[in-house]
Amino acid sequence: MVRNSKGRQKIEMVKMKNENNLQVTFSKRRSGLFKKASELCTLCGAEIVVIVFSPGKKVFSFGHPNVDCVIDRFLNINPPHPRQHTDMQLSEAHRNAIVRDLNNHLTQVTEEFEIEKKRNEDLKQKRNNNKMPENWWEEPIETLNLSQLTEFKCGLKNLRKTVTAEASKNLQAIVPRHNFYAGSSNNAAFGIFDDKGTIDPDLDLYNRQRMVVKNTCACNHHNMIVPHHITTPFGNIGNSITEGFAPEYNQNQNQLCFKQEHISECDHHSDQPHHFGHGYY
Amino acid sequence: MTRQKVKMAFIENESSRKATYKKRKSGILKKANELATLCGVPVGVIIDSAYDLSPEVWPSREEMDKVMSQWQRLPVMDRTKKMLNQQSYLQQRISKESETCKKLTKENKELQMKEVMFDCLSGKTSPSRIEKSDLRDCGNVIEQYLKNLNRRIEILSKNDGASSSYVHAAATTSVAMPIVEMGSSSTAFCDMIRQQQIQSSMNQNVRGLDLNQQQW
């Protein structure tokens, strides 16, 4: 494992020279000091006040039960009236209960955080282990040349198609299946073709699906399937290069096909929605 | 020896509590000293408990008085702006850590979906086998990747117009090869690539023949 920094090092106990480092150190150490103070109060029930002035002359303070109370006592201002004692005890009990809950909550969040951190490490490790040198597309984008990028783009676009199709199966309850165009124009409706989309490609799949419905309903009368020879309102877009990368994911009879063949070749199922040839990519 | 994780709650055992108090108190004062020295700033600490006859004042009464006068010279608003007690401090920490945790969860999801995407491309799995709940996230990751690809393509195309069009043409030529229909099975991206490589090497030979014919 390549180490990027030297790790913890002993530092001299003198005022730091570098202004920026000093500011950063101040932030971190002040935060750490407050954490220690809070822990002391929780663990041992002590009373504490910590006052710190920043390099920028701003003041930070932490106090338990609160800053002013402890300071007043130190300066011998306003000693508590005996009659106030029981009230103070009650509110202290109340306060302690709240703090106890907060501490439990914080512990829980910290544990979840630790779990996520571990998962993060594991995922990165997994990527390292699964690395296959012949799969050049798994390398960082910056290392790929233009032809590789273009090929990769085609492959990904096709993958996107099938993933979108799978996702649309899940939304069948919301949108009637028959209104869907197969193949390329489906994507066109999603606005997924490169630079000129009618629909914001930043929309997640669910919202894009809704946009498709909107668009299809606009041109679909009586819930009829538009015959294949009519140009869709979405026009003729896309790279002809993508032709070559048409993985065929045939699904069962009454579902959508994503074959990129010429129209004349798809007439075998009369009850099926018509396919769109490469011209409608 | 690994440390025992301490539960952040009032220590019930009296002797434990007292021992912890002494250790942690001295630890806090040490840290306060380091902060004051390294950053050259005024710091004042008061700690009081049942275990002390009188409150511990750090660095000293005189120094604390100086801090106090500086404190009192400040308008009340400035004093209270960054003032915290247990309650407010813990709430702050909870929200910060939740925030960071959420970001990490998001990143983890993206990393996971990226693996799924790569597995689909290399034929190890297919979209039909992706968890239904992950489909949307997977789609988003693919989308983001495509965006980055496009951005990169744009940069490269701009940088050298001449050579890139050559490369582009090369890609076109290789892709225009007739691709074998794979029937009802899905064809992985990586298989396409390999087929291409085979085709293009075959093509090299064919081109060689054509040239011979032209010379005729």
Instruction: Tell me whether residues B48 and A103 touch, CB distance under 8 A.
Output: no
Mutation site, A53, A108, A144, A174, interface B, largest B CB count within 10 A:
A53
Instruction: Tell me whether residues A61 and B82 touch, CB distance under 8 A.
Output: yes
Across A58-72, average pLDDT: 93
pLDDT above 80: residue A98: yes
Q: Quick one: closest CA in B to A113, which residue?
A: B101
Q: Quick one: closest CA in A to B122, which residue?
A: A135
Task: Give me A88's structure tokens.
Answer: 């103070």
Tell me: the pLDDT tens digits for A13-30? 999 999 999 999 999 999
pLDDT at A244: 38
Instruction: Give ipTM to 2 decimals.
Output: 0.75
Q: At A33, which amino acid appears?
A: L
pLDDT at A191: 41
Query: Which of 21-80 (B) contact A at CB < 8 A?
Result: 21, 24-25, 27-28, 31-32, 34-35, 37-50, 55, 57, 64, 67-68, 70-71, 74, 78-79
Chain A residues close to B107, C-beta within 8 Å? 120
A269 or B74: which leads in pLDDT: B74
Chain B residues close to A62, C-beta within 8 Å? 83-85, 89
pLDDT at B199: 78
pLDDT at B82: 94
Least Cα separation, residue B198 to chain A (angstroms): 14
Mutation site, A132, A157, A163, interface B, largest B CB count within 10 A:
A163
List, in order, residues 6 or more apart from A40 with CB less than 8 Å away. Answer: A46, A48, B21, B24, B25, B28, B47
Across A203-230, average pLDDT: 53
Instruction: Tell me whether residues B25 and A40 touch, CB distance under 8 A.
Output: yes
Least Cα separation, residue A75 to chain B (angstroms): 9
Chain B residues close to A94, C-beta within 8 Å? none
Instruction: Tell me whether residues A146 and B157 touch, CB distance under 8 A.
Output: yes
- State the DSSP string of chain A: ----S--S----SS--S-HHHHHHHHHHHHHHHHHHHHHHHHHH--EEEEEEE-TTS-EEEEEES-HHHHHHHHTT-SPPPTTHHHHHHHHHHHHHHHHHHHHHHHHHHHHHHHHHHHHHHHHHHHHHHH--TT-GGGS-GGG--HHHHHHHHHHHHHHHHHHHHHHHHHTTTTS-GGGPPPHHHHHHHHT-SSS--SS-TTS-HHHHHHHHHHHHHHH-STTPPPPTTSPPTT-S-S-GGGGG--------TTS-------GGGGTT-TTSPPP--GGG-
Mutation site, B22, B58, B71, B89, interface A, largest A CB count within 10 A:
B89
pLDDT above 70: residue A157: yes
> What sign has the CA pseudo-torsion A165, A171, A172, A176?
negative
pLDDT at A145: 87
Least Cα separation, residue A231 to chain B (angstroms): 25
SS3 (DSSP) at B75: coil
Q: Quick one: closest CA in A to B159, which residue?
A: A146
Least Cα separation, residue B214 to chain A (angstroms): 28
pLDDT above 70: residue A1: no
Instruction: Tell me whether residues B118 and A135 touch, CB distance under 8 A.
Output: yes
Other C-beta atoms closer than 10 Å to the C-beta of A35 total 14
Q: pLDDT means per 10 residues in chain B (216 residues)?
A: 82 94 96 96 95 90 93 94 95 96 96 92 87 90 93 84 51 42 52 77 68 56
pLDDT at A167: 86
Least Cα separation, residue B170 to chain A (angstroms): 8
pLDDT above 50: residue A231: no
Q: Is the CB of residue A54 less than 8 Å away from at least one CB of chain B?
A: yes
pLDDT above 50: residue A260: no
Instruction: Tell me whether residues B143 and A64 touch, CB distance under 8 A.
Output: no
pLDDT at A83: 66
Chain B residues close to A157, C-beta within 8 Å? 146
Q: What angle do CA A74, A78, A79 make, to 5 degrees?
A: 75
B56 or A218: which leads in pLDDT: B56
Query: Which of 106-135 (B) contact A at CB < 8 A?
Result: 107-108, 111-112, 114-115, 117-118, 120-122, 126-128, 130, 132, 135
Least confident of A175-184, A233-242, B164-173: A233-242
Chain A residues close to B31, C-beta within 8 Å? 29, 32-33, 36
Q: Rounded distance, CA A86 to CA B28, Å?
A: 32
pLDDT at A217: 54
pLDDT band at A85 (very low <50, low <70, confident <90, very high): confident
Instruction: Tell me whether residues A58 and B49 touch, CB distance under 8 A.
Output: no
pLDDT above 60: residue A263: no
